[in-house]
Amino acid sequence: MKPIADSELIINPDGSAFHLHIKPEQLAGKVILVGDPGRVETVAGFFDEVLHRGDNREFVWSTGSYKGVLFTVISTGIGTDNIDIVLNELDALVNVDFATRLPKEDHRSLEIVRIGTSGSLQADIPSDSWVLSEKAVGFDGLLNFYAGRDGISDLGFEQAFISHSGWKANLTKPYVVKADSTLISRLKSDKVYPGATISAPGFYGPQGRVIRLGLAMPDINERITAFRYGEQRICNYEMECSAIYGLSALLGHKAVTVCVIIANRLAGNYSKDYKKQVTLLIEYVLDSLAK
Ligand SMILES: O=P(O)(O)O[C@H]1O[C@H](CO)[C@@H](O)[C@H]1O
Ligand SMILES: O=c1cc[nH]c(=O)[nH]1
């Protein structure tokens, strides 16, 4: 096998991954992803001890122990284009030998949990509640660039959603990927609402928000709220989960997302203090994974 070329996997002179600035030995097997770089310090604030930390652009990270278990927390910034960078570099850090530039013989699987913020699309899921994303519906199109996309997408759900929503032909085809079942069972409790989550390629038009511009599909949010696939319904909008699930499934990692609802789109309201809920959710996730 030929080594992966310098142009394809860029390794910095200090031996760290190009964007993340993490070296292979600095990454823990349990990874917390957050959008907001400021949230990294909130997670690291729970660590008993911080062993490594660094930052580059929007990618701020810290590795430390919580109740004796090692975690790395990394900020991804906003959007699935950043997730393409984060997931590919995380996978390279564990599954490519940076010295030989060859894939390793033994595959390592990371446990990845995204702790995010989100907008509810269901009347009974209020602001300040928590949603556990059993499935992600990608409006972003990232996974369509990768081979094997149809093998991991729930094609029945995908087709039912396209028909129900009146999806426009000039938009990227939605894809639907499930979370890892072991991580779902670790995080499931009466504290979280389980359901499907849409990852949108924008906060405004792609989530049906109108400020001054009209929408290509004016009734999209009403259609999403009413959509059912068997017992499943779509609970919320955010902007990263689909690509995390899709790339994790293709690369052989375990992933799940749990978000604080900061706005209820039907009620038109916004949380008074969502950061308090985010801090409570971080502790809940760390405790669930450290057991
Ligand atoms: O709070 P984070 O984790 O960034 O998540 C949500 O918030 C951002 C938009 O405000 C998007 O990244 C969305 O996914
Ligand atoms: O409505 C919301 C709230 C947070 N993040 C999103 O992407 N959408």
Q: What is the pLDDT along the chain (291 residues), one digit of tens a residue?
A: 999 999 999 999 999 999 999 999 999 999 999 999 999 999 999 999 999 999 999 999 999 999 999 999 999 999 999 999 999 999 999 999 999 999 999 999 999 999 999 999 999 999 999 999 999 999 999 999 999 999 999 999 999 999 999 999 999 999 999 999 999 999 999 999 999 999 999 999 999 999 999 999 999 999 999 999 999 999 999 999 999 999 999 999 999 999 999 999 999 999 999 999 999 999 999 999 998
Please answer whether residues 173 and 142 qualify as being in contact, where contact means their C-beta atoms are separated by less than 8 angstroms: no
* Distance (Å, whole) CA 55 – CA 51: 14
pTM assigned to the model: 0.98
Tokens of 128: 């300040």
CB of residue 37 inside a 6 A radius of ligand 1 = no
Give domain status of residue 111, yes or no. yes
Dist. CA 203 → ligand 1 center (Å)? 9
Closest CA to 269 of 144, 126, 142, 160: 126
Q: What are the structure tokens assigned to 125, written together?
A: 């899921």
Q: Which tokens hold the place of 36?
A: 């907001």
Is 5 a domain residue? no
**Domain around 76:** 24-290
- Number of structural domains found in the chain: 1
Q: How far is the CA of 7 from the centre of ligand 1 (A)?
A: 30
Do the domain assignments include residue 233? yes
Give a yes or no: residue 18 inside a domain.
Answer: no
Instruction: Give the Cα separation of 187 and 29 in Å (integer).
Output: 17
Per the domain annotation, does 6 fall within a domain?
no
Q: What pLDDT is recorded for position 36? A: 98
| Residue 162 maps to a domain | yes
- Whichever domain contains 197, its CATH number is 3.40.50.1580
Q: Where would I find the H helices in 67-145?
A: 80-95
Q: Rounded to the nearest 5 degrees, what angle is found at the Cα of 48, between the Cα atoms of 26 and 183?
A: 70
Mutate to test the pocket of ligand 2, among 199, 207, 270 (most ligand atoms within 8 A of CB): 207
Which helix (H) or strand (E) is 7 found in, with range? Answer: none
With respect to residue 148, please indicate whether it lies within any of the assigned structural domains.
yes
Q: How far is the CA of 36 from the centre of ligand 1 (A)?
A: 7
Binding site membership of 119 for ligand 1 (Cβ less than 6 Å): no
CB of 237 sitting under 6 A from ligand 2: yes
Nearest of 114, 94, 118, 111 to residue 43 by alpha carbon = 114
ipTM for the whole predicted complex goes beyond 0.85: yes
In-domain check, residue 2: no
